Amino acid sequence: MSLLTVEGLTVEFGGARAVRGVSFGVGKGECLAIVGESGSGKSVTARSLVGLSGGRVAADRLEFGGEDLRGLPERAWRRIRGRRIGFVLQDALQALDPLRTVGREVAEPLVVHRTVPRRRIPDRVRRLLEDAGVPDPERRAGQYPHQLSGGLRQRALIASALAAEPELIVADEPTTALDVGTAAQVLDLLAGLRDRGTGVILISHDLSVVARLADRIAVMKDGLLVEQGPAGQVLTAPRAPYTRMLLDAVPSGYAEPVEVGEPVLEARSVSKRYDGRTVVDGVSFELRAGESLGLVGGSGSGKTTLARIALGLVEPDAGTVLLDGEPWSGLPERRRRPRRARIQPVPQDPYGAFDPRYTVGRLLDEASRLSGETATAEDLLRQVGLTGELLDRRPRDLSGGQRQRVAIARALALRPAVLVCDEPTSALDVSVQAGILALLDRLQRERGLALLFISHDLAVVRKVTQRVVELADGRVVASGPTRDWRGDRETIPEPHRI
């Protein structure tokens, strides 16, 4: 039986149409996934289902449980939101009010809709948290969102969306901010809901996430539905070329072997403590010229701290780091600075790593001047697959993929031997990610660059790296050739914060 029916949905923002005539439906106990890249209109579509798109909504049909939602007054919408349709946003650190306890946040739908007598609310909150897989719910309810790990926060957010027992759950990128293992647990939680008869609409940019859960998949691009059908059919026999492109862009297979040279970066039993907590614990690895080494682990496993130690930005408490076979850690900054060009970072969010007032040309010239590099900014852009047209643009006028390429070009301007890439593609769409990964692979082969590649996406790690070091709680739990690595262990356990 159909729970929600949408026909010809259009959402306009001041004349710009973000959603252009979209039709879909969800039944009880069914999961519909809406997949698309940034700007496809998928989030706007999701929000218009609870009357919060912020734009002008029109539709031929917009029915939920037999009720026409078109032109519904605000008061009537409020009776539906949270009560009959639950909504889960991505990144619960920002989606939960940081100044209120987790318990109050979870209880809010109960308070607003008065579905439970006031005195029974605490009891109910505890059960909701427990059902969402939050251990020790009584204590957690009294804590604030920042005291919970990412996975627990996302569970609490889902518990709050479920509080008033809605018939439909809309989840907008509920796993994007989570590492693989935690994401899998959150998806299992949603699957359990679906199996108990709740309708689920899952919004995602990632086809591989959706594959675990969706009964039906709808693919959106530029505000239009380009394809819709049963999950199996869309994933294995897509009809639309765009869907096929998305599927091809999902990283698969292993990196080709390479010829490796001398060791360029070496860590010997490196440790680092913060506030009495050991973040990196006796980690050793070796990175040779021309090879790519993956650094993987759940959130909080010490990957990023290790990357900063490698870059010479954080001093290890114990152990040494060698760059080009010479001491790199424990040096005064004035002796380190001349060699900094040898090891360069590629950031997760290049937008934050650029001066927003600089043009692309100036960003690259600044880097070239530092190294005495003779290549012009235009040459550098060409090396990363861009053209000189971008020289006068500023970071905000670039697309996410272009920005990441410029960040790589800036690193190349210094003629580095090592690139430290910290989640370089996790903020990018899949199709753009494929391009960046291919670029890194080419640079590695053509220039003999060594890559220290940090990622929580196992498919990406397999595609890019020859060897892998897996961390948990700051310690090396596995290392060796990527091909031999038990990559099928999709669940990297997340250390729960106490």
Partner 1 sequence: MIAGVVRRVVGAIAVLLGSGTLAFAALRLIPGDPAATLLGGAPATPEAIARLNDELGLDRPLPVQYATFLGRAARGDLGWSFQYNAPVTEVLGQEIGPTARLTLTACALAAAGATALALLTAGRRVPRAVSGTVELVGSSTPTFWLGIMLLTLAGFRADGIWLPALTLAVPVGAVLAQVLRDGLETALSSPFVLTARTRGVADRRVRRAHALRHALIPALTVLGWTAGSLLAGAVVVESVFARPGVGRVAVEAVMAKDLPVVVGAVLLASVVYVVVNTLVDLAQLLVDPRLREV
Contact footprint for partner 1 (CB under 8 A) = 50, 52, 74, 77-83, 85-87, 89, 91, 94-100, 108-109, 112-113, 144, 146, 157, 160-161
Helices (H), 114-197: 121-131, 137-141, 150-162, 180-195
**Closest distance to partner 1 from the beta carbon of 356 (Å):** 19
Instruction: Name, in order, each residue with C-beta under 8 angstroms of 15's C-beta and a sequence gap of 6 or more.
Output: none
- Under DSSP, the state recorded for 81 is B
Residue 339 and residue 15: Cα distance in Å, rounded?
Answer: 53
Give the amino acid at 287: L
Residue 73 and residue 100: Cα distance in Å, rounded?
Answer: 29
Residue 415 and residue 418: Cα distance in Å, rounded?
Answer: 9
Q: Using alpha carbons, select from 308, 312, 306, 298 the residue that is nearest to residue 278.
A: 306
**Closest distance to partner 1 from the beta carbon of 143 (Å):** 9
**Closest distance to partner 1 from the beta carbon of 294 (Å):** 31
Which is nearer to partner 1, 100 or 126 (by Cβ)? 100
Residue 284 and residue 192: Cα distance in Å, rounded?
Answer: 41
**Closest distance to partner 1 from the beta carbon of 101 (Å):** 8
Give phi and psi for 470, each to the nearest 5. Answer: -105, 130
25-45 in b/e burial notation, b at 16+ Cβ within 10 A?
A: bbbbbbbbbbbbbeebbbbbb
Which is nearer to partner 1, 276 or 332 (by Cβ)? 276
Which is nearer to partner 1, 156 or 452 (by Cβ)? 156
Which is nearer to partner 1, 100 or 394 (by Cβ)? 100
Task: Answer yes or no: are the C-beta atoms of 157 and 134 closer than 8 Å.
Answer: no
Which is nearer to partner 1, 170 or 211 (by Cβ)? 170
Which is nearer to partner 1, 69 or 225 (by Cβ)? 69
Q: Using alpha carbons, select from 161, 163, 167 the residue that is nearest to residue 1.
A: 167
Task: Answer yes or no: are the C-beta atoms of 306 and 295 closer than 8 Å.
Answer: yes
Which is nearer to partner 1, 107 or 386 (by Cβ)? 107
Which is nearer to partner 1, 105 or 494 (by Cβ)? 105
**Closest distance to partner 1 from the beta carbon of 75 (Å):** 8
Task: Answer yes or no: are the C-beta atoms of 129 and 141 closer than 8 Å.
Answer: yes
- List for the chain the helix, strand, coil content (%; round to 5): 40, 25, 35
**Closest distance to partner 1 from the beta carbon of 276 (Å):** 14
Following DSSP, what letter does each residue of 293-356 receive, concatenated?
EEEE-STTSSHHHHHHHHTTSS--SEEEEEETTEE-TT--HHHHGGGGGGEEEE-S-HHHHS-T
Which is nearer to partner 1, 161 or 231 (by Cβ)? 161
Give phi and psi for 467, each to the nearest 5. Answer: -130, 160
Residue 191 and residue 257: Cα distance in Å, rounded?
Answer: 39
**Closest distance to partner 1 from the beta carbon of 349 (Å):** 17
**Closest distance to partner 1 from the beta carbon of 81 (Å):** 4
**Closest distance to partner 1 from the beta carbon of 92 (Å):** 9
Sheet with 263-274, edge to edge strand ranges: 277-288, 263-274, 318-323, 326-327
The two three-digit tokens of residue 363, written as one number: 């960003």
Which is nearer to partner 1, 161 or 364 (by Cβ)? 161
**Closest distance to partner 1 from the beta carbon of 205 (Å):** 17
**Closest distance to partner 1 from the beta carbon of 130 (Å):** 20
Which is nearer to partner 1, 109 or 302 (by Cβ)? 109
